Chains A and B, each alone.
Chain A
């Protein structure tokens, strides 16, 4: 069988049509296998403690005994914009063994973001702290430091694995959020936001545990993060 000359269309690399970046944290480098960076922020980032048979490769973001630690894993802060094709991030995380409270207060941010120490000013992410939305998760978008919030009915439970997903539609006009305790199924969308979509501001991916009160260690675990961009 001979070879035929490829058509012009078939010479286009798949990487030019679809971008996939998957981080499983299966490494001793807290930054992961991709181009991520771990910022201890006065806490500790480690991949050596929390892996299990169901969750191989886990990054631990611990606040240690600091009341102001900001341990964060950042997959860059200037990588993506919404629009010109669907853009999604799928992620798996585990809440600490103790929830946030008035004695030891922390807030988590997971999803698209651009900060290594605080709440994103550009992106779309899930957040939790006890004083927000009665302790249920909140889905947010952020564009140039303006943020839109959508309260979800998903209660944050301590010592629990969650799978989340955030999808920007192809036009970059809205963001939709999913969150489930099932690793196999995300279920129905929790809601969609159509304001403060970051189409002009760049962002990356971010998983943070930001401590603000108390000196008891709180550890957020991250098992997986995958970004997919389907170019329009």
Chain B
């Protein structure tokens, strides 16, 4: 299976903080190799899956940065009382 892959760096709608090298759009080409017009890269399905697995940690860092639970996780992991998130948790619990 061949794929046409476009990355966020080539998309007009790249969200702030999204890794530019993360795949944004895919079109399945079957056995074909003809790419659509524009900044598309030809990859096999295996290459694509391997690429995503290799760069997944970059996407997860972005996802954690935009999810509220990411802030909570970081606050608990860091355990610092000066953390903005930790302060909010303490306020919510009535401890600050």
Contact = CB atoms under 8 A, between A and B. Distances in A.
A195 B4 CA distance: 11
Contacts of A147: 24-26
B28 interface: yes
Nearest to A196: B26
A148 B27 contact: yes
A96 to B, nearest CB: 23
Contacts of A149: 25-27
Interface of B: 1, 3, 15, 18, 22-28, 45, 48, 52, 56, 59, 63
A149 to B, nearest CB: 6
A31 B70 CA distance: 28
A169 to B, nearest CB: 16
> Chain B contact residues: over half helix, strand or loop, or mixed?
mixed
A149 B25 CA distance: 7
A145 B22 contact: yes
A146 B1 contact: no
Given A145-B18, A195-B26, 16 more contacts: A144-B52, A144-B56, A144-B59, A144-B63, A145-B22, A146-B23, A146-B24, A146-B25, A146-B26, A147-B24, A148-B28, A149-B26, A150-B28, A194-B28, A194-B45, A195-B1
